[in-house]
Amino acid sequence: MSSTRNTEPKAINVTIDGKSCSAIFGQTILEIARENDIYIPTMCYLTKTLPIASCRMCIVDVEGVDGAILSCQEKATDGAVINTNNDELFKERQNIMKLYNVNHPLECGVCDKSGECDLQNKTMEFAVSKQSFTAKEPARPVQNWGVISYDPALCIMCEKCVRVSTEITGDEALKVKFGGYNSTIENVKQDANYKTLGEAAAVCPVGALVDSRFKYTANAWELTQIPSTCPHCGAGHDVIYEMKNGEIYRVSNTAEFSTMCSASRYGFDIANKNVKKDETAFKSALKAFESAKTILFSNEISNEEALILQKLKETKGYKLVSHEARAFQKFMASYGSITGKLLYSGSLETLSQSKAVIVMGTRVNDDAPLVKYHINMASKWHRARVAYMHPIEDSELKNIVTQFIKYEAGSEEGVVALLADTLLKDIELPENVRAVLNDLDIGNLSAESNVGEEELEALRKSLLKKSGFSLVVGSDLYAHPRAENIAKILALLEQYAGFNVICVPPAGNGMGISQICDLDDTIEGSTVGYNVKGDFTLSALGDGDLDMPSFTQQEGTLTSMSKRVTTMNVVLEYGGYVLNDLANELGLKADYTIQYTKYLPKAKGFKAVEFDDLTDYFDAKGNEHRGYVLDELDVATAISIEDVAEMNAFDGTVIYNCNPQEHFSALTAKSENLTKDAFLLGSQQFATAAKLTDGDTICYTINSVKFKRVFKIDTSLKGTIALNPTFDMGLSTALLSSYRFSKVDLERVGS
Ligand code: SF4
Ligand code: SF4
Ligand code: FES
């Protein structure tokens, strides 16, 4: 096994339209042209996917080569002389546009795409002023596919949507139905009703695929665009709020380069509306702060708010408790004690470039859809081998997972030890690390975890011929009773086997909070809660004692799982008090919350940059210039790995706390645009074992939190562990500090 970090790119030089262009061997002519600000028209090209090569608009002449060639897929050779435009190329492109316009119903006046339509623009650009040909038009009705609708009459068959569905989101719902002139796109998974289809519509260059919710509500030119960062899952990708009359009409993104999850595309209705300055409540809040010993908060706060809370801790002595972020913080501290780095090595970018990926301790498709997308990209672009290790199989991953390794809930420490022992077998290690691995009782660990040695050996062998590995781990591990030893063992794979590791932070701004705040483990005395129920509660959800702005109503920064600090901007009005107002009364001093941006802790990799100086764009090549990436910092090392502890058996009725795909928190639960159903989901096998039938109402208690849920059989699930969503638990986060698997007693209270 070896890392790909050291491959030297070979430099080449080409001449395009007389301009000398430096490039790297392997780049296409189109990529080089775009890097050098040379325009080549395209219709089917989508930067974030492999070349589609269906439109022929990108044809160029290369000296010494017969015939025009497709610049989007042709790799440039050193010394090539390329011409991107002449009368002949113009005529060819004009003819292509004429063909696109055969029978295209010029409905621009009522079409959703008008004003931002590639066909409309290029029809003008290539001076196609009339429809020269016609063909017999078959009846092709508009089809509704949940969040999007498809009008085959407007479709130019560029296949961008199919590529996004296949290469990016991985729902694999959209396919080409070939039929010559009658070819169409079909949704082969209509029953699944994927919300990820919104990502396919986002790249459609014409009005064929449109957002069902947005359709016929506004013209593109009426919308004001406000760029920001998605606050939901922690991937921190760009979002553009499109506004009219002070309301969000739709959410888009720089779809050429980046992709969103369904929560960000549709879960934008999270504002704390109609809030005015409530002086009485403000005074009560100040009193509550004066008597409180602990500030308890969720991940739904900005970096700057986290810094305000940290400063209040330093000046007033509060305990700061944020359960999920604390678990992650402790995990990373243990992890760093082995690697000598403050944070893990990987990012979403390194993940998508991997040749092999191991996922463990996260139901990744639900916990972090953007991580799943990037694993899917690695699978489609590099035929990456993907090993998914979890107690519950996930049918949504079946198209990308090459090996599913099922382990028993509770056995994670043993499993990571087995994994490290197998993958570090032939690698030179410090004596004390080798001694820990040599001391493992492999037979016992294997029996307890139910992971066969041969499964891991098969995994090791499959990696032998590969390079560029990623390891993705998640929340199942952070709140595990043995989390710190698990972190240290996993860190060996980054340190000694060259894995790019992503420890998926808790959703929201778990990464930022864990870096900025000196968090405490336990609550003391009375509490002020922020987006969490406290003795006095500040809430952006509209149900606290003093209102706070939601993420769409405040300026600030967030820190992503790729360690990037990016900006959030004010999208909707907010008339109430903000945390900074309280902080000023409590002795801090800042006119605006964003005055804290440049004071985010340098000791944790933040940079001393003013909020207004943070950039927010992608360049023509797709490089991200959004905010900055945290500096990589060294920390002290101390190799002190403990022996693997006895495992707790999770037999009987076992439940796994895991939200459905578009939900992460009480904030997404607030959205009316997202599905709100919060069922306990189990397989038929679970139903039989627990003596439940579909539709039963049941009660159970996890960590003192009482649930009353309707049980539903999910035929896509296998095994005897049911999925329990927690996003609808309002301001209660008590559950989030506990291991995600629980043994429970179910009481049927209705059917
Ligand atoms: S897809 Fe474009 S060209 Fe066709 S009707 Fe709509 S706006 Fe006009
Ligand atoms: S629906 Fe849109 S993206 Fe898909 S093939 Fe047709 S025109 Fe292209
Ligand atoms: S952009 Fe090259 S064929 Fe479409």
Ligand 2 centroid–CA 522 distance in Å is 54
pLDDT for the residue 7: 59
Q: Which atom of ligand 1 is nearest to the CA of 207?
A: 1
Region 339-352: mean pLDDT is 96
- List the residue whose alpha carbon is closest to atom 3 of ligand 3: 53
Q: Does residue 161 have its Cβ closer than 6 Å to ligand 2?
A: yes
Which of the listed residues 157, 169, 210 should we mutate to test ligand 2's pocket, taking the one with most ligand atoms within 8 A of CB? 157
Q: Does residue 92 have its Cβ closer than 6 Å to ligand 3?
A: no
Q: Does residue 159 have its Cβ closer than 6 Å to ligand 2?
A: yes
Ligand 3 centroid–CA 33 distance in Å is 14
Q: Which atom of ligand 2 is nearest to the CA of 176?
A: 5
- Cα 721 from Cα 718, distance rounded (Å): 8
Whether the CB-CB separation of 351 and 345 falls below 8 Å is answered with no
Which of the listed residues 31, 34, 42 should we mutate to test ligand 3's pocket, taking the one with most ligand atoms within 8 A of CB? 42
Q: Which amino acid is at 612?
A: D
Average pLDDT along the chain = 93
Q: Does residue 209 have its Cβ closer than 6 Å to ligand 2?
A: yes
Choose the weakest-confidence range: 219-228, 342-351, 641-650: 641-650
Helix H or strand E segment including 130: none
Which of the listed residues 42, 185, 186, 199 should we mutate to test ligand 2's pocket, taking the one with most ligand atoms within 8 A of CB? 185
Helix H or strand E segment including 513: helix 510-516
Ligand 3 centroid–CA 472 distance in Å is 35
Question: Model pTM?
Answer: 0.95
Of the listed ligands, the closest to the CA of 151 is 2
> Edge to edge, what strands does the sheet with 536-539 contain?
319-321, 294-297, 527-530, 536-539, 546-547
- Cα 516 from Cα 326, distance rounded (Å): 11
Region 295-308: mean pLDDT is 96
Of the listed ligands, the closest to the CA of 119 is 1
Q: What is the pLDDT of residues 487-514, one digit of tens each?
A: 999 999 999 999 999 999 999 999 999 9
Q: What is the pLDDT of residues 69-101, one digit of tens each?
A: 999 999 999 999 999 999 999 999 999 999 988
Q: Does residue 707 have its Cβ closer than 6 Å to ligand 3?
A: no
Ligand 2 centroid–CA 185 distance in Å is 7
Whether the CB-CB separation of 422 and 414 falls below 8 Å is answered with no
Q: Which atom of ligand 3 is nearest to the CA of 73?
A: 2
Which of the listed residues 34, 44, 74, 89 should we mutate to test ligand 3's pocket, taking the one with most ligand atoms within 8 A of CB? 44
Decide the pairing of beta strands 546-547 and 536-539: parallel
Ligand 3 centroid–CA 19 distance in Å is 22
Q: Does residue 104 have its Cβ closer than 6 Å to ligand 1?
A: yes
Choose the weakest-confidence range: 179-183, 313-317, 457-461, 555-559: 179-183
Tokens of 380: 């489609």
- Cα 185 from Cα 726, distance rounded (Å): 37
Q: Return the number of other C-beta atoms located less than 10 Å from residue 104's C-beta.
A: 18
- Cα 141 from Cα 191, distance rounded (Å): 19
**Has residue 5 got a pLDDT over 60?**
no
Q: Does residue 107 have its Cβ closer than 6 Å to ligand 1?
A: yes
CA angle 144, 147, 148 (to 5 degrees): 50
pLDDT band at 675 (very low <50, low <70, confident <90, very high): confident
**Has residue 110 got a pLDDT over 90?**
no
State the DSSP string of 281-334: HHHHHHHHHHH-SEEEE-S-S-HHHHHHHHHHHHHH--EEE-HHHHHHHHHHHH
Q: What is the pLDDT of residues 400-438, one digit of tens each?
A: 999 999 999 999 999 999 999 999 998 999 998 999 999
Whether the CB-CB separation of 213 and 552 falls below 8 Å is answered with no
Q: Does residue 595 have its Cβ closer than 6 Å to ligand 1?
A: no
- Cα 161 from Cα 149, distance rounded (Å): 12
Whether the CB-CB separation of 43 and 156 falls below 8 Å is answered with yes
- List the residue whose alpha carbon is closest to atom 3 of ligand 1: 120
Q: Does residue 58 have its Cβ closer than 6 Å to ligand 3?
A: yes
pLDDT band at 731 (very low <50, low <70, confident <90, very high): low
pLDDT for the residue 733: 62
Which of the listed residues 40, 70, 75, 158 should we mutate to test ligand 3's pocket, taking the one with most ligand atoms within 8 A of CB? 70
Among 584, 588, 582, 518, residue whose Cα is nearest residue 548: 582
| Cα separation values, 604 from 22, 98, 288, 630, 638, Å | 37, 57, 31, 8, 19
Q: Does residue 157 have its Cβ closer than 6 Å to ligand 2?
A: yes
pLDDT band at 4 (very low <50, low <70, confident <90, very high): very low
| Cα separation values, 397 from 203, 387, 404, 419, Å | 23, 10, 10, 21
pLDDT band at 463 (very low <50, low <70, confident <90, very high): confident
Of the listed ligands, the closest to the CA of 40 is 3
